[in-house]
Amino acid sequence: MPNAPLAPSFGVEETFFLVDRRTRDLPTQLPDAFLRDAHRAFGESLSQEMFQSLVRLDMAQPSLLEIAEARATLLEKRARLAALAAEHQLAPLCAGTHPFADWHGQVPCDDPNVQPIFEDHRMIAHRSLACGLRVLVCVPPERDRVQVMNRVLGWLPLLLALSSSSPFWNGRPTGLMSYRRATAAEWPHKGLPEPMPDEPAFTAYLQWLVACGSIRRETDLRWFIHPCPQHPALELQIADACPSVEDALCVIALFRALVAWAMTEPEEPEDPLLQRLVLKENHWRAMRFGIHGMFLDASGEASLSAGAWLARAHACFGELAEAEGDGLAFSRGRHVLRYGSSADRQLQRYREALQAGLPRQQALVAVVDDLIAETCG
């Protein structure tokens, strides 16, 4: 097999809650003036996401080549969104879930593509008040995207653990570090990928889902990693939205390095059933424990910490990541392991506020304030 070029191009999409600055809660509807100003400022790169109180900033056209370029773009767009939101008494909050917003009061957005989602999935859709980080990494046409996907699958729970930012739901600690992934698991086509040997088999499966009426269009299939229908890329959706730009860049760089590694390494025989069982277990452990979990290795017989898993990743594809300019993925990953993920910081802030004598609701407001500050830099 010819070697894949280094540093595949990539794209990013971030989703934000827009918080009422006075109450720190989510409004049921965004002001028309804000939406008008936002569309004028961002054009087609900004859209509403599922609910009236969520917006999506799309940099997912996979044309970025450098992590430094992604950093500058994310910081600049977040700053512009924060400044614009402030003019309307709003603030962007980038995290997997809002600490205390009640999904019962949220209104679906007016996008005609969104209405059928609520019609088809009912309460599952209404409960999905969550934000994720979407990453696209290009795969050359001579490569089979599903075979590349199968090679990176086992590593993805580590990315979820590092990004975990949704420990609260409806005003209560859930006991999970990524409750967002628990809500995603309720959907019929939004969890672990089904076993597929190659891209032709995936395409046939997708066409069958549409033909038999299980999904309306190809974009309705949203496994936490899948071939992107719009671009020649693999699309990652496992990660929680990250309030810290540096945490988001860690996930982006790790995923790009993983895809590059999968395209340059020869195929290795694996037991697909064992791989899926280990993946399913590690996905749960990342949801539940975040960076504090003990994870199964590829054999399914030994456990390793998130730190040991990251070290194993560095030994496996760290040199390639350095050559691509993605070495920050590992240094930032070690930082998260040492100082905590966003979920850790939120829970710590909540405990500190309670210990200081604040009522539970005010403790949650303190968490929201920290998330807004981190999102806006």
CATH code at position 55: 3.30.590.20
- Tell me the pTM: 0.96
For position 60, what pLDDT does the model report?
62
Is residue 350 in a domain?
Answer: yes
Is residue 307 in a domain?
Answer: yes
| % of residues, the chain, pLDDT over 70 | 97
Domain extent at residue 149: 10-376
For position 7, what pLDDT does the model report?
82
Helix (H) or strand (E) segment spanning residue 56: strand 51-64
Instruction: Please say if the pLDDT value at position 143 is more than 70.
Output: yes
Is residue 316 in a domain?
Answer: yes
DSSP-based helix, strand, coil % in the chain, nearest 5: 50, 15, 35
In angstroms, how far is the first alpha carbon of the chain from the final one?
44
Strand partners, 137: 10, 234
For position 347, what pLDDT does the model report?
99
Helix (H) or strand (E) segment spanning residue 90: strand 90-93
Largest CA distance in the chain: 63
Q: Which of 84-88, 296-300, 367-371 has the lowest mean pLDDT?
A: 296-300
Is residue 1 in a domain?
Answer: no
Instruction: Please say if the pLDDT value at position 270 is more than 90.
Output: no
Determine the Cα–Cα distance for residues 47 and 110; give it in Å rounded to an integer.
11
Quote the DSSP letter at residue 4: P
Is residue 272 in a domain?
Answer: yes
- Burial of residue 207 (CB within 10 Å: 0-12, 13-18, 19+) is exposed
What is the tally of structural domains in the chain?
Answer: 1
Is residue 2 in a domain?
Answer: no
Is residue 5 in a domain?
Answer: no
For position 2, what pLDDT does the model report?
40
CA atoms 350, 351, 353, 357: torsion sign = positive
Q: How confident is the model at residue 327 (pLDDT cuts 50, 70, 90)?
A: confident
Strand partners, 363: none
- Residue 47: CB atoms within 10 A of its CB come to 19
Mean pLDDT of all residues belonging to the chain: 95
Is residue 154 in a domain?
Answer: yes
